[in-house]
Amino acid sequence: MGIFGRLGTLLKANINDVISKAEDPEKILNQLILDMKDQLIEAKKQVAVAIADEKRLKKQLDNELHMAREWEKKAMMAVRAGRDDLAKEALRRKGEHDQLASEFQGQWEAQKAAADKLRESLRQLNNKIEEAKRKKNLLIARKKRAEAQQKIQATMSGLSDTSAFDAFDRMSEKIEQMEAEAEASAELADDFAGNSLDNQFADLEAESGADSELDALKAKMGMLDSKPAQQFEFEEQKQTKQQTVSAGGRGTWDSDDF
């Protein structure tokens, strides 16, 4: 192969490659359907012409048969009238029309067979076009599904980079830090607002309640010393009497007060 032959092959290969890359399956399929529809229109025209020729031949056949019958009637009329010469002429004309009718009969039958064949071909072509339409829709759906899968795959490939997930982790840690700082700020605000004192009293009440429960348990077990309780009761009665004397302005002191 010469250099020009190789160059021509290279150019053809490059051109075919460019065309292949530029081809859009959906557009190509739509164009093919349009071309098929154009072919169907042309086929319908050809079938229409063939049917018209068949009908024309049938009319000519019928006309020749009709003329043959008319000349036969005239021949019979001439025989009845005793005019054999006219009868012979009428029969000769009848023969001519019979001959033409025979020829038209053959042409009409051939044309009818051709028209019927064209009709069948037209039906087959129409069925193929309808099938092509259904296949086109199916192929386009497959093409779109393949494109969607490619896009998903490309997206997943992009997500395979851990930098995006690392960024999410950093943002999560940052938000957790912000939440912790917000909670600390709220606690400080409660302390300065006086809520700390309330919390201390609440803790004290809880502790006192726990001590009472512990004393009750010890008393139930016989482990609690009753002397401090009696002393506390004596001190409480003494304090009550003093308050009574002070309220009356005067009073006598009872030795029991001491």
CA 54 to chain centre: 53
Is the predicted pLDDT of residue 252 greater than 50, yes or no?
no
Residues 6+ apart with CB under 8 A from 44: 122
At 245, list the tokens: 């004397």
Conformational region of residue 254, where left means phi above 0, alpha means psi within -120 to 50, and beta covers everything else: beta
- Per the CB < 8 A criterion, the answer to whether 111 and 50 are in contact is yes
At 37, list the tokens: 């529809």
* pLDDT tens digits for range 115-136: 999 889 889 888 988 888 888 8
| φ and ψ of 238, to 5 deg | -60, -40
Is-above-0.85 flag for pTM?
Answer: no
Place of tokens 């709220």: 186
Distance from C-alpha of 181 to C-alpha of 178, rounded to nearest angstrom: 5
Distance from C-alpha of 116 to C-alpha of 119, rounded to nearest angstrom: 5
Confidence at residue 130, expressed as pLDDT on a 0 to 100 scale: 87
* Mean of pLDDT over the chain: 76
Confidence at residue 37, expressed as pLDDT on a 0 to 100 scale: 86
Distance from C-alpha of 46 to C-alpha of 201, rounded to nearest angstrom: 108
Distance from C-alpha of 96 to C-alpha of 71, rounded to nearest angstrom: 10
- Per the CB < 8 A criterion, the answer to whether 154 and 86 are in contact is no
Place of tokens 């002429």: 89
At 106, list the tokens: 């053959």
Q: Would you kindly state where each structural domain of the chain is located, as residue ranges?
A: 3-160, 165-220
Place of tokens 């349009």: 34
Residue 257 is given by DSSP the state G
Could you write out the DSSP letters of every residue in 110-157? Answer: HHHHHHHHHHHHHHHHHHHHHHHHHHHHHHHHHHHHHHHHHHHHHHHH
Residue 143 is given by DSSP the state H
At 183, list the tokens: 């909670």
How confident is residue 109, by pLDDT bands cut at 50, 70 and 90? very high
Is the predicted pLDDT of residue 177 greater than 90, yes or no?
no
Confidence at residue 10, expressed as pLDDT on a 0 to 100 scale: 57
How confident is residue 98, by pLDDT bands cut at 50, 70 and 90? very high
At 179, list the tokens: 């939440």
Mean pLDDT confidence for 232-241: 57
Place of tokens 């009238």: 81
Confidence at residue 258, expressed as pLDDT on a 0 to 100 scale: 40
- Per the CB < 8 A criterion, the answer to whether 66 and 104 are in contact is no
- Per the CB < 8 A criterion, the answer to whether 228 and 215 are in contact is no
Q: What is the three-state SS of 22-54?
A: HCCHHHHHHHHHHHHHHHHHHHHHHHHHHHHHH
* pLDDT tens digits for range 7-60: 566 555 655 555 555 567 777 778 888 888 888 888 888 889 999 999 999 999
Confidence at residue 29, expressed as pLDDT on a 0 to 100 scale: 79
Compute the half-sphere exposure of residue 2: CA atoms within 13 Å on the CB side of its CA: 2
* pLDDT tens digits for range 194-229: 555 566 666 666 666 667 777 777 777 777 655 454
